[in-house]
Structure 1
């Protein structure tokens, strides 16, 4: 059966569904609060944020079919992308960083910002650059197994309706009243512009995916939107709300739950429950990664004998695959000084060196890479 279009926000739930969801919501918010506190107190918080962002970029693009690994991205972060799949990952990371900068400057999440982020995602000959980067689609699109609309599982709203639907979503995201968000039946439980931040994030992501305003890149941009709204709403201080890794594990369930929110009789219950479960698992998984990375960092600091060695060691938490010259720029030390510290860390079995290379020798913090990749 083909689903057609979506209803505008807000979302209505029956009382039993709402009760279960609000109970689950309280549990997940508690875990997210713990994640924020642990991250703030970590000695490697700046480094781990960047690496987790790269990992999210990898996982989010994998949902849509790329085969790039985190290790591969770390190896090519010095030299740049070697193919379209890597470019897609680097573009995703650039878009997250740019969006975070804008929110720090108190720029609201608007259509204008989303178009700028989409342009970044589509740049540099990544997949979908022919799809008008930064511009809403002007034709009908659809989601299905092939290029035949008759086989579509979902046909989004028409191109002429995108403006109205995006205005409705924009006010919802930013927690502001708009006439399109008025509730007609006040006897039902409603998730609207003034509801809990985490529920609004869940709804906003699904609604954006269903509007499908761009010809390509909607999935990636919709997942970036999750992280940015979380920062804007002070749910987390940094753009670390990365659920792609969890959603990628249950890809079919993810798509089925999104589909349930569409058409004339939407059911938001499967999606809200899936999103809350994925959010909790994401937070617990990131907590585990931060704790393991912190333990690894402290273990290395105990082995270091000089401040230079300590600084170079911690620098490898920002660049787990790096050369002496790269870390020289980062730390401000002469490259010969950095190389000496790196070789000491290799001797202490904290790092690995590529002995097959004579110039610009890369050094690997494999234990850290393994921590970030773990799930």
Structure 2
């Protein structure tokens, strides 16, 4: 059983630091390419929205939900949603809210973190009575509800504010008196001045280890990765999504996080794991954008009018939609849009629910497959 964590900053020995920086160089190049590919894409805003929804799905799956990207797209407009769907949409709302705050000039503060938590936990499962508030009691991480079987016991509740202040300064790259630390011989200090991507990796592990809320810490910690990437200008939009990669290696994710805890933390495995996940994420999202771009371009070649072109591109924003919904996006009359959508069905670019009599849905299955 591991208890508690050390405050930031962290120390890494010289050899480990060299290994980390070698890896970091390659990952930063990949992420730079991702940002460039997105900016050049003709469907960048549409793809960004869909990728954000997919991130919401993947992050909640780490917590044990079974919801799929297709299911979320199918149920976007429905009023009565399952708790699993609510969690996904809350996650999406929290990311978008955080993005707005950061682009308005806000720093990632304790106030913002509590605000995001409140959005995340609205009508969700778990302990929602304390949404937006730090826990007042001891919690623990383990296989059951017995603390004696815990894998990890976070810091006491009365220390949360102190540790979160320490983390807040680190996140925003600002000096704090805690960072006045003399390093041992052959050690390197990873403080508030280090590369942004390394700070994101350390931030996520530290937030998860503080475990400041009774519920929702994992999801919120992954939201902070995307938001910190915007704040640090790694990405212009919330596209730094590693949840799919973390979910693919869930046990390794939890194991390496656990190594950063206790009186003698080891950070190398976690940082290298996070950098590798970030590199795979960049490769995967670049691939998704490029394939989506190709799908969009191939469809545009079959368009004969401006109306058809605009309706076609609107299906990249809403790959499951009715003629009415596409009409709202494009501004064209519903019947004009329906005619264009049926043209795409005839040319095998879209599918249509032929069994429905009202509110007929059109499906861009090729795009859904790429994103999800």
- Same fold by TM-score greater than 0.5: yes
Partner of 2:370: 371
Q: Is the 8 A contact 1:118 1:221 kept in 2?
A: yes
Shift of the alpha carbon at 1:186?
Answer: 5.8
Distance 2:298 2:191 in 1: 48
Corresponding residue for residue 182 of structure 2: 184
Q: Aligned-pair distance for 1:129?
A: 4.5
Please name the residue that 2:248 is paired with: 249
Alignment length, in residue pairs?
A: 371
CA deviation string 1:60-84 (max 9, x = no partner): 0000000000000000112245200
Which residue matches 1:147? 145
The answer to whether the aligner puts 1:168 opposite 2:144 as a matched pair is no
For 1:35 and 1:302, the matched residues in 2 are separated by 26
Give the whole-Å Cα distance in 1 for the aligned partners of 2:91 and 2:64. 14
1:68 aligns with 67
Shift in Å, 1:181: 1.8
Q: Which residue of 1 aligns with 2:113?
A: 114
Partners in 1 of 2:76 and 2:300 — Cα distance?
Answer: 25
Match of residue 130 from structure 2: 132
What is the aligned partner in structure 2 of residue 101 from structure 1? 100
Alignment of 1:189-228 (within 5 A): 189-228=188-227
- Partners of 2:341 and 2:350 within 8 A in 1: yes
* Pairs within 5 Å for 1:1-375: 2-80=1-79, 82-123=81-122, 125-185=123-183, 187=185, 188-373=187-372
Is the contact made by 2:74 and 2:320 (CA closer than 8 Å) also made in structure 1? yes
Deviation at 1:130, TM superposition (A): 2.9
Pairwise CA distance, 1:184: 2.4
Deviations 1:62-108 (A, max 9, x none): 00000000000000112245200000000000000000011110110
- Distance in 2, matches of 1:129 and 1:256, equals 25
Q: In 2, are the aligned partners of 1:10 and 1:192 still within 8 Å (CA)? A: yes
Q: Deviations over 1:99-139 (max 9, x none)?
A: 0011110110000000010000000x211253511000000
In structure 2, what is the Cα distance between the partners aligned to 1:12 and 1:350? 55
- How many angstroms apart in 2 are the aligned matches of 1:129 and 1:260? 27
Q: Which moved more, 1:328-337 or 1:284-293?
A: 328-337
Give 1:209 deviation, angstroms: 0.2
Instruction: Say what the alpha-carbon RMSD is for the aligned residues.
Output: 0.8
Query: Take 2:184 and 2:164, find their aligned partners in 1: how far apart are those partners?
Result: 24
Q: Tell me how far apart the structure 1 counterparts of residues 85 and 354 of structure 2 sit (CA, whole Å).
A: 26
Could you report, residue by residue, the CA deviation over 1:149-179 in whole angstroms, capped at 9, with x for unpaired residues?
Answer: 0000000000000000000000000000000
Kept in 2: contact 1:108–1:174 (CA 8 A): yes
2-side partners of 1:186 and 1:347: how far apart? 70
> Does structure 2 retain, via aligned residues, the 8 Å contact 1:131–1:216?
no
The alpha-carbon distance between structure 1 residues 131 and 203, as it changes in their structure 2 partners (threshold 3 A), is farther
Q: Is the 8 A contact 2:201 2:271 kept in 1?
A: yes
Q: State the alpha-carbon separation in 1 of the partners of residues 162 and 332 from structure 2.
A: 55
The runs of 5 or more residues in structure 1 that have no matched partner are none
Other structure's SS at 2:261 match: coil
**For the Cα contact (< 8 Å) 1:48–1:317, is it kept in 2?**
yes
TM-score w.r.t. length of structure 1: 0.98
Q: Specify every segment of 5 or more residues in structure 2 that has no aligned partner in the other structure, as ranges.
A: none
Deviation at 1:190, TM superposition (A): 1.4
